Amino acid sequence: MAMDEVLIECVPNFSEGRDIKTIQSIKESILSVPNVTLLDVDVGHDFNRTVVTMVGTPDSILEAAVKSSKVAYDLIDMREHQGEHARMGAVDVVPFIPLSNASMELCTEIANKYGKIISKECNIPIYMYGEAAKKPDRINLPNIRKGEYEGFPEKIKDENWRPDYGSTNFNYKSGVTASGSRNILIAYNVNLNTSDKKLANYIAGKIRTSGVFMKNDEGKKIFDDNNDPMKKPGKFEYLQAAGWMFDENIAQVSMNLLNYNHTGLHDVTETIKLEAIKLGLEVISSELVGLIPLDAMLNAGRFYSNNEKNQTENDLVDAAVSGLKLNIIDEFVPHDNIIEWSMKNSRR
């Protein structure tokens, strides 16, 4: 990698995690683009969702995002899609993230180019989110995704939810897509020894930034003077969380860490452990979806290490893997799963 090379990360989420041929076609479309490195393809069967991580120069990353999206729109039919994860389209979300020598403004520009191309050439309604959001209530992706695919035929008719690009005619085959620019997001799930998703969601409500709705003794929401429901904020800033199922026997707290320097992997893990104990549960494993920055692992490693001053980067990463229980479900391979180390391997 040249010192002055401008690199952007893109992490498109495709609503397919079971049809290997479709996933392979998406992968091949990305590999066909010069100056793009495909770092990870995370396939989730139960979520029926595949998360791709790729890095490239500005023009190349846009080309790869457009080409892979077109393949997905062609091969995925949302009318037949079922999965555990919230979703609203065949290509659910396409974020652009600044890496080496790249600015957020550049990523916002590329996200808008993507939205214009896809809405025009594929007839897909596009919503801009994150730093590229054109309206305040579209900054957070869950606000856009609320109602999911099934709710969008009506939602898109609402004047407040007109797409930023494309028509208000709902595309039943492909749904809608969100694109935007953001900082690096860490998708991280912590698994519990219970099959009760409600318990995982209870813990998620305690820790996520948005918290939970306040309720009275009768279990009804409490409203303020403006008739808006009141919320009790969660413990952490820059954290999205919800209760999901890892499989039919294991519930999980599924999270997006939006600023890992402020709210780290070890912070949320240790708090979930404490909340789980209160419910008579325990944390049995964790998993990362996609790749993770080295600094995020080193931060966790310093927390779990007994003697961080004498530890190498490899030692700290090992301490993080062990402390977070990242090696229980599958082997966690640092040189494949840490962005900086994976890029070095890919470019050899």
Instruction: For 53-77, give the secondary structure using H, E and C.
Output: EEEECHHHHHHHHHHHHHHHHHHCC
Q: What is the DSSP letter of 260?
A: T
Catalytic residue among 85, 262, 266, 335: 85
**CA 26 to chain centroid:** 18
Of 245, 219, 236, 307, nearest to 271 by C-alpha is 236
Which residue(s) pair with 245 in the sheet?
251
> Parallel, antiparallel, or unpaired: how do β-strands 36-44 and 91-98 relate?
unpaired
- Provide the sign of the torsion angle of the four alpha carbons 304, 305, 306, 308, taken in this order: negative
And the tokens for 290? 């996609």
User: What's the rounded Cα separation, in Å, for the pair 15 and 94?
Assistant: 12
- Exposure class string for 198-236: b at 16+ Cβ within 10 A, else e: ebbbbbbbbbbbbeeeeeeeeeeeeeeeeeeeeeeebeb
Q: Which two tokens stand for residue 292?
A: 């993770």
Instruction: Give me 150's structure tokens.
Output: 């099934």
Task: In whole angstroms, give the CA distance from residue 258 to residue 239.
Answer: 6
Distance CA(14)–CA(65), nearest Å, equals 11
Which tokens hold the place of 346?
Answer: 């890919």
First-last CA distance in the chain: 10
128, amino acid identity = M
Q: Is 262 in the active site?
A: no
Q: Which residues are catalytic?
A: 85
